[in-house]
Amino acid sequence: MMSIPSSCSYRIALHSSAIWKQQQLFSFSTPTTTKSECLKKLLLRGLAGTLALTLLSSSPPLLAAELLPPPAPSSELCREDSEEYVEEERPSESVSNEELVEEAWEIVNESFLGHVGNRNWSPEIWQQKKEYMLQKNIQTRARAHEVIRKMLSSLGDPYTRFLSPQEFSKMARYDVSGIGINLREVPDDYGATKLKVLGIILDGPAYSVGVRQGDELLSVNGVDVKGKSAFDVSTLLQGPKETFVTIEVKHGKCGPIQSIKVQRQPVARTPVFYRLDKMDNGDISFGYVQIKEFNALAKRDFIIALKRLKDSGASYMILDLRDNLGGLVQAGIEVAKLFLNKGDTVIYTAGRDPQIQKSIVAETAPFITSPVIVLVNNRTASASEIVATALHDNCKAVLVGEKTFGKGLIQSVYELHDGSGVVVTIGKYVTPNHMDINGNGIVPDYQRLPDLSEVTNYLSRCQIQRT
Structure confidence by residue, pLDDT tens digits, 264-274: 986 667 899 99
Distance CA 142, CA 347 (A): 41
Other CB atoms within 10 Å distance of the CB of residue 368 = 18
Q: Note the pLDDT of residue 267.
A: 63
Structure confidence by residue, pLDDT tens digits, 13-57: 233 222 333 222 222 222 223 333 332 333 233 222 222 333 333
Distance CA 250, CA 244 (A): 19
Structure confidence by residue, pLDDT tens digits, 155-170: 999 899 999 988 887 6
9 band by pLDDT with thresholds 50, 70 and 90: very low
- In the set 234, 407, 412, 428, the catalytic residue is 407
pLDDT at 90 over 70: no
* Torsion, Cα of 440, 446, 448, 450 (10° steps): -150
Q: Give all domains of the chain, ordered by start, each with its CATH number.
A: 20-171 (3.30.750.44), 181-263 (2.30.42.10), 272-409+428-466 (3.90.226.10)
Give the sheet arrangement for strand 372-376, strand by strand. 272-278, 285-291, 316-320, 372-376, 397-401
pLDDT at 233 over 50: yes
Q: Note the pLDDT of residue 88.
A: 30
Q: What angle do CA 360, 363, 366 make, to 5 degrees?
A: 110
> Which residues are bridge partners to 376 per DSSP?
401
Mean pLDDT over 342-367 rounds to: 91
Distance CA 396, CA 390 (A): 8
Q: Note the pLDDT of residue 175.
A: 66
Mean pLDDT over 365-375 rounds to: 95
> Which residues are bridge partners to 285 per DSSP?
278
**Do 294 and 325 contact (CB within 8 A), yes or no?**
no
Nearest Cα to Cα of residue 13 among 49, 66, 57: 49
Go through 50-78 and write b for each residue having 16 or more CB atoms within 10 A of its CB, e for each that does not: bbbbbbbeebbbbbbbbbbeeeeeeeebe
Distance CA 173, CA 307 (A): 33
Return mean pLDDT, the chain. 78
pLDDT at 464 over 90: yes
Backbone angles phi, psi at 234, to 5 degrees: -60, -35
Q: Note the pLDDT of residue 7.
A: 27
Mean pLDDT over 63-79 rounds to: 35
Structure confidence by residue, pLDDT tens digits, 389-443: 999 999 999 999 999 999 999 888 888 988 899 999 999 999 999 999 998 999 9
Distance CA 1, CA 9 (A): 15
8 band by pLDDT with thresholds 50, 70 and 90: very low
pLDDT at 455 over 80: yes
Q: Is this prediction's pTM over 0.75?
A: no
129 annotated active-site: no
pLDDT at 178 over 50: yes
382 annotated active-site: yes
Distance CA 373, CA 426 (A): 32
- Crossing angle (nearest 10°) for helices 230-237 and 329-337: 100
More confidently predicted of 147 and 171: 147
- In the set 382, 384, 412, 420, the catalytic residue is 382
**Do 148 and 100 contact (CB within 8 A), yes or no?**
yes
Q: Note the pLDDT of residue 378.
A: 96
Q: Note the pLDDT of residue 83.
A: 32
Distance CA 42, CA 27 (A): 11
Distance CA 358, CA 361 (A): 10
**Do 141 and 185 contact (CB within 8 A), yes or no?**
no
Mean pLDDT over 124-150 rounds to: 94
235 band by pLDDT with thresholds 50, 70 and 90: confident
% of the chain surpassing 90 pLDDT: 51
Q: Note the pLDDT of residue 171.
A: 67
pLDDT at 115 over 60: yes
Other CB atoms within 10 Å distance of the CB of residue 280 = 6
